[in-house]
Amino acid sequence: MTTPNRGSGELDALLDQLREYVTPQPPCISLPPRAFTSPELYELELDRIFRRSWIMVARADQLAGPGDYLALTIAGEPLLLTRDRTGALNAMSPICRHRMMPVVAAGTGRAEHFTCPYHLWRYGLDGQLIAATHMRGNPAFDPGTCRLPGFAVEQWQGFVFVNLDSGAPPLRTHLSRIGEDLGNYELGAMTQVGSFVEDWHCNWKVAVENVHENYHVMGFHPETIQPSTPGGSDTDVRDDSPLVLRFTVPFKEPQEVEFLRLTEQERRQVYNVSVFPCTSFAAAGETVIWLSFIPTAIDRTEVRGGILAPSQTVEGTDAEQLQQIREGNEAYAAVINGEDQRGLEEVQRAVGSRFAGRGHLSPKEPAVPVFYRKLAAALLAEEYREPAEAGPLAAVQSSLS
Ligand code: FES
Ligand SMILES: [Fe+2]
């Protein structure tokens, strides 16, 4: 058996195939199988996408009080988010400026400051060095200018986004249209009533393309989602910016609402929003679910997410009742997520087969090629720029009709 060439020629060939998605007549076929297994493409994705993109990592409830922190890894880069005593959110690298020990392990907690476990240098919640023992004798060392390098962070409607590129253009402008359209859901006033962090054994794009369509609901979710939101329903897609697309999917029956003033139309549809590359949220009646699919390896994805509800839902509840509500929501999310995870891990096992190939897409999954187009545009950044306003959707729709 011969070993196929895995050199840069293969990356060029893959990019040639991806380039077709940004042409005026993009192909309505799925990604090449090697897009999910090529180490060179994965490196390019880390460099051109994940080291410079906005990713939703938490809900502000998870970083509510002074000293609350969240430590995680994006694209191999450790990251620390804190709420400081002024109420500001900070995002920074937790890597100690002395000899590179992370000052905090991955996870969540509350801290007054961060003390590096190695030689006990201490940093404030904003990343500034507070104390460094036995350093006075080194005249070259200036503690006043020593701080953990910062990343960009934005809070929008209670959602917390980070960007490893501290000079990244703001995300807010991309989301203004969504904020207006989703005004009745009062996203900023919602409370997180459940959250999860899961480890899926699949490439991040396998998970992200799946969340761009409800065609799979009849296959993966026959007893959970299918009865209320049947798979293969007509999907209406809007492509708002190089980063944001929205699509709606009809409910079988309009949702009952208790606290929100939703229009008839809003009660009749699930409103899905996707923020390139790997974040999405869906407003379904009075429930909102958010998800981010963060690559941890070429075939591993950390799934972070939460369930939101109007704050009135939990008003007057005691800690025990709140815990029960959380456990109920998280158990339900675990069932749905498990259905997707099992299926998508099977897909990941198959993409390495010699017989895996590109397939034709259905008109019932029109947001998928729009995602492909955004992916290709980001990977070909040096030679291609998406228009700032909508545009590519028309091309995708014409090839699907
Ligand atoms: S590596 Fe942090 S104090 Fe030495
Ligand atoms: Fe699903």
Give the DSSP letter of residue 353. S
Quote the number of domains for the chain. Answer: 2
pLDDT of residue 60: 96
Domain match, 117 and 148 both: yes
In a domain, 137, yes or no: yes
Q: Give yes or no: residues 208 and 308 share one domain.
A: yes
- 140 and 235 inside one domain: no
Asked whether 48 and 276 are in contact (CB, 8 A), the reply is: no
Tell whether 198 and 111 lie within a shared domain.
no
Report, as an integer, the average pLDDT of 173-177. Answer: 90
Q: What is the pLDDT of residue 7?
A: 52
**Burial class of residue 146, CB neighbours in 10 A (0-12, 13-18, 19+):** middle
Domain assignment of residue 197, yes or no: yes
Structural domain range at position 75? 55-153
Q: What letter does residue 385 receive in the DSSP assignment?
A: -
pLDDT category at 3 given cuts 50, 70, 90 is very low
Tens of pLDDT, residue by residue over 179-191, are: 899 999 999 999 9
Q: Is the pLDDT of residue 151 over 90?
A: yes
Residue among 270, 216, 212 at smallest CA distance from 245: 212
Q: Bridge partners of 108?
A: 70
Shared domain check, 132 and 95:
yes
Report the pLDDT value the prediction gives residue 240, as an integer from 0 to 100: 81
Confidence of residue 343 (pLDDT cuts 50, 70, 90): very high
Q: Is the pLDDT of residue 401 over 50?
A: no
What spacing in Å lies between the alpha carbon of 74 and ligand 1's midpoint? 22
Q: Indicate which CATH number applies to the domain containing 116.
A: 2.102.10.10
Per-residue pLDDT reduced to its tens digit, 266-315: 999 999 999 999 999 999 999 999 999 999 999 999 999 999 999 999 99
Residue 396: pLDDT over 60: no
Per the listing, tokens 């986004």 go with 161
Determine, yes or no, domain membership for 160: no
**Residue 19 included in any domain:** no
> Where a domain ends, among 153, 188, 214?
153
Q: Ligand 1: which atom is nearest the Cα of residue 119?
A: 3
Q: For residues 250 and 226, is the Cβ–Cβ distance under 8 A?
A: no
Q: Which of 169, 171, 172, 167 is nearest to 149 (CA)?
A: 167
Write down the mean pLDDT value for the chain. Answer: 93
Pocket test for ligand 1, best of 114, 115, 121 (most atoms within 8 A of CB): 121
- Give domain status of residue 280, yes or no: yes
**Same domain? 243 vs 374:** yes
Which residue, judged by its Cα, is nearest atom 4 of ligand 1?
119
pLDDT of residue 5: 43
Residues 325, 374 contacting (CB under 8 angstroms): no
Q: Check whether residue 131 and residue 215 sit in a common domain.
A: no
Say if 132 falls within a structural domain.
Answer: yes
Q: Could you tell me if 131 and 121 are in contact, meaning their C-beta atoms sit under 8 angstroms apart?
A: yes
Whole-number pLDDT of residue 2: 38
Residue 240 lies in a domain: yes
Identify whether residues 183 and 269 lie together within a single domain.
Answer: yes
What DSSP string describes 272-336? EEEETTTEEEEEETTEEEEEEEEEEETTEEEEEEEEEEEGGGGTT--HHHHHHHHHHHHHHHHHH
User: Same structural domain for residues 271 and 393?
Assistant: yes
Same domain? 147 vs 185: no
Q: What is the DSSP letter of 47?
A: I
pLDDT of 371 higher than 80: yes
Q: Pick from 153, 186, 217: which residue ends a domain?
A: 153
Which residue has its alpha carbon closest to ligand 1 atom 1?
99
CATH number for the domain including 386? 3.90.380.10
Residue tagged 């969240």 (tokens): 70
Question: Which residues on adjacent β-strands are paired with residue 73?
Answer: 78
60, 133: one domain? yes
| Band of residue 232 on the pLDDT scale cut at 50, 70, 90 | confident
Report the percentage of the chain scoring pLDDT > 90. Answer: 88
Asked if residue 162 belongs to a domain, the reply is no
Least confident of 40-44, 84-88, 123-127, 396-400: 396-400
Ligand 2 center to 76 CA (angstroms):
26
Tell me the CA–centroid distance for residue 117 and ligand 1, in Å: 7
Q: Are 277 and 203 in a shared domain?
A: yes
Q: What is the pLDDT of residue 241?
A: 86
